Amino acid sequence: MKLNRIHLSVLLLLCLVVLMAVLPIMSLRDRSTPANPMYEHLGGNFELQSLNGPVQLSDYEGKAVMLFFGFTQCPDICPTSMAVMRQVFAALPEQQRDNVQGIFISVDPERDDVQRLHDYTQFFDPRIVGITGTKAEIDAVTRQYAASYHFEESDSAMGYMVQHTARTYVIDRQGRIHDLISHEAPYTELLAAVSKVL
């Protein structure tokens, strides 16, 4: 009888150890968000260049990502969108901020070298990285994300302007597009979309 009690105690202890090992894994799984079927044909990994070397989307697996296409000499949409990203970072609880990454992809590599991109993004928030590449590399990424851009002649001192897609891609921890947020939306809309994938 005493032996049976010992066996039962050992069995209960083993069950408790297994449960303690499994619960954290289940908790992590619960944090993953289901893929959004509207955007499952868009997105994917890519590699472009930053001041500190190559950057891939997969580098940020496990984080929520805010991704925007633009150029540093953009007079309105790009700085507004970067300011909105900054507002989102500021509004997030402090413990969640390091789980979010901002990415600004320049579609104007002729004027936006990696140093300029670094300075531009760091002005808004150190958690935003500026990246670019050759025209062929940029075109490949814009095709992946159904984004567009084209150059227009201008009488301004800049010489030309760039018309481009003006939305922020919210990408979940698994690297899948969760939502597209218009540049005209209030920062609270982007904040809600990011919070949903954290």
Helix (H) / strand (E) element for 156: namely none
Looking at residue 112, its amino acid is D
Cα distances (Å, whole numbers) of residue 6 to 1, 102, 143: 9, 56, 65
- Phi and psi at residue 177, to the nearest 5°: -70, 125
pLDDT of residue 34: 78
pLDDT of residue 23: 38
Tokens 């925007």 locate to 68
Cβ neighbour number for residue 127 with a 10 Å cutoff: 19
Show the tokens assigned to 136: 């062929």
Model pTM? 0.82
pLDDT of residue 153: 86
Looking at residue 181, its amino acid is I
Architecture of the domain defined by 37-197: 3-Layer(aba) Sandwich (3.40)
Helix (H) / strand (E) element for 49: namely strand 47-50
Q: Which residues contact 85 (CB under 8 A, 6 or more apart)?
A: 66, 68, 102, 124, 125, 128, 168, 190
pLDDT of residue 114: 98
pLDDT of residue 24: 40
In DSSP notation, 15-41 reads: HHHHHHHHHHHHHHHHHSPPP-GGGTT
Show the tokens assigned to 131: 């990246």
Show the tokens assigned to 129: 């990285």
Alpha helices in 112-152 (DSSP H): 114-124, 135-144
pLDDT of residue 96: 97
pLDDT of residue 5: 53
Show the tokens assigned to 171: 């990408």
Residues of the chain with pLDDT under 50: 3, 6, 8, 10-30
